[in-house]
Amino acid sequence: MKDQFYSYIKNLQNQITEAFEKVDGSATFFEDEWNRAEGGGGRSRIIENGSVIEKGGVNISAVHGPLPESMQSYFKVDEVDFFACGLSLVIHPKNPMAPTVHANWRYFEMYDKTGNCIDQWFGGGLDLTPYYLFEEDAQHFHRQCKKACDIHHPDFYLEFKNKCDAYFHNPHREEARGVGGLFFDYLKEDKEFTIQDRYDFTTEIGNNFLAAYLPILEKRKSMKYSAAQRTWQEIRRGRYVEFNLVHDKGTLFGLKTNGRIESILMSLPPAVQWRYDHHPEEGSEEYNLVTVLKNPKVWV
């Protein structure tokens, strides 16, 4: 299974980076292959200062070795070995009318000291973070998420949509990071689903990513915007950074397993502001966005 999934994410990385280079039209991804001393490595692809994409990364990795003590307590296990592979991406468009998008799809195995696999699961999802709210964009994104989920189970969309709303939430701000999408983790084999079923579902979501996001980026990438709207984008990006550094499990896992810092922090946007006690004017477009972020909506 780990070979099957790693082969999948290598191909998916190629498809996604080719699609974004085509949309941008000027910038290309810089590829950086790296090795982890404890075992494994990865292939990071970074794009910066494009005509459409200000900064983005589409990274894959496959790492293995003894599970660090800090993660043993998290998983409630003794000394074990692990294997983890996945694809993680973040795209920060230049235009504040175009939303940031994040996605990742991952697979994890755990082994006892004799090398027997004692646990395995899939996780992942995708979510949208707009700076100006276009409801038709959020609806399109969620329709695509639901369409992919419905192929596998009628309850999946609502279950994983709700988990996304709960996960991508800044409790210290009492607001969501964005308008959500899907989030799932610890998808294991059980009485209803085989591990191959979990693979099929996870890859369905991965295969649907470009259809969910690219039409939105194409529609918004050339819209006119003001300096004030750019400032608002940078203030909202600050909230994005806060979530990633304080709450995001993937960031924390990478840091605690001696992950590659450049790959872990590639999700951070290049231009960010933190204004003291900043509040948008009531009734403004900015105010309307924050209102929605404080109360997650049903989009489809």
- The pLDDT tens digits of the residues spanning 114-137 come to 889 999 999 999 999 999 999 999
Q: Is it the case that residue 276 has pLDDT exceeding 80?
A: yes
Q: Of 73, 127, 61, give the one whose Cα is nearest residue 99.
A: 127
Q: Of 44, 60, 58, 65, give the one whose Cα is nearest residue 109.
A: 65
| Ramachandran class of 265: left when φ > 0, alpha when ψ lies in -120 to 50, beta otherwise | alpha
User: What is residue 47's predicted lDDT score, i.e. its pLDDT?
Assistant: 97
| Ramachandran class of 249: left when φ > 0, alpha when ψ lies in -120 to 50, beta otherwise | alpha
- 2-294: what CATH class? alpha beta
The one catalytic residue among 92, 102, 140, 169: 102
Q: How far apart are CA 220 and CA 203, in angstroms?
A: 27
End-to-end CA distance of the chain: 34
Q: What is the pLDDT of residues 137-146, one digit of tens each?
A: 999 999 999 9
How many residues are given for the chain? 300
Domain range list for the chain: 2-294
User: What is residue 260's predicted lDDT score, i.e. its pLDDT?
Assistant: 82
User: What is residue 252's predicted lDDT score, i.e. its pLDDT?
Assistant: 82
Q: Which helix (H) or strand (E) holds 252?
A: helix 249-256
Q: How far apart are CA 26 and CA 42, in angstroms?
A: 26
For a pLDDT cut of 90, what percent of the chain falls above it? 85
User: What is residue 67's predicted lDDT score, i.e. its pLDDT?
Assistant: 86
Q: What is the mean pLDDT of residues 234-260?
A: 87
User: What is residue 255's predicted lDDT score, i.e. its pLDDT?
Assistant: 80
Q: Is it the case that residue 70 has pLDDT exceeding 90?
A: no
Q: How far apart are CA 67 and CA 75, in angstroms?
A: 10
102 is catalytic: yes
What six digits make up the tokens of 76? Answer: 């409630």
Q: How far apart are CA 170 and CA 294, in angstroms?
A: 10
User: What is residue 277's predicted lDDT score, i.e. its pLDDT?
Assistant: 93
| pLDDT class of 74 with cuts at 50, 70, 90 | confident
User: What is residue 251's predicted lDDT score, i.e. its pLDDT?
Assistant: 87
In DSSP notation, 64-98 reads EEEPPHHHHHHHT-SS-EEEEEEEEEEEEESSTTS
What is the residue-averaged pLDDT of the chain? 95
Q: What is the pTM of this model?
A: 0.95
Q: What is the mean pLDDT of residues 237-246?
A: 94
Lowest pLDDT segment from 26-30, 206-210, 262-266, 267-271: 262-266
3-state SS assignment for residue 22: helix
Q: How far apart are CA 34 and CA 50, in angstroms?
A: 24
